[in-house]
A = this chain, B = another copy of it.
Amino acid sequence: MIFNLATGYALQALAGLPESGEYALTRDLAERLELPSPYLAKILQNLARAGILESSRGPKGGYRLARKADQISVEKILFALEGEDALNGCVMGFPVCDASHPCPMHDAWTAVKTQMEASIISTTLADLRRAAVFKSKPKSARKR
């Protein structure tokens, strides 16, 4: 996969968090998404530190989005969790990225990367929330 696990969890979680008003509980969210609760908690903390989530402790506390869902791009989330240059460097993992000595895959890879960047920039949480896939997993995918 391209993003790491935590980022995938974050996207699923963020897509299921309220935009404003009521805070949602880590525990409930983890249960709904069937994700490991303590690990999800860590991720949510990171997102809160990054300013993507607002948190409140104590009863009636929890997490909610810090901005409108359509103001939070997938790119912002990726960068918050994996660093600003998560998309920099050679997609094939080679150390030298010299345009004057491109390897034979360079043009193809560049196109791939451009396309990736375009989609993560233009896709926001508001788009993700419209997806059913985040809200219900088929029974067959659950461990028995």
- Please report A residues at the B interface, Cβ cutoff 8 Å: 1-5, 7-8, 11-12, 74, 89-96, 98, 101-105, 108-109, 111-112, 115-116, 118-120, 123, 127-128, 130-134, 137-138, 141
Give the oligomeric copy count: 2
CB atoms of A108 and B104 under 8 A apart: no
A128 touches B112 (CB 8 A): no
B11 with A92: CB separation less than 8 A: yes
4 A-B pairs closest in CB distance: A8-B93, A108-B119, A104-B127, A103-B131
A47 to chain B, nearest CB (A): 16
State the CA gap A4–B94 with chains docked (Å): 10
List, sorted by A's number, 28 A–B pairs whose CB atoms are closer than 8 Å.
A1-B90, A1-B91, A2-B92, A3-B91, A3-B93, A8-B90, A11-B94, A12-B94, A74-B105, A95-B137, A95-B141, A96-B133, A96-B137, A96-B141, A101-B132, A101-B133, A102-B131, A103-B128, A103-B131, A104-B123, A104-B128, A104-B131, A105-B119, A105-B127, A108-B115, A108-B119, A108-B123, A109-B119
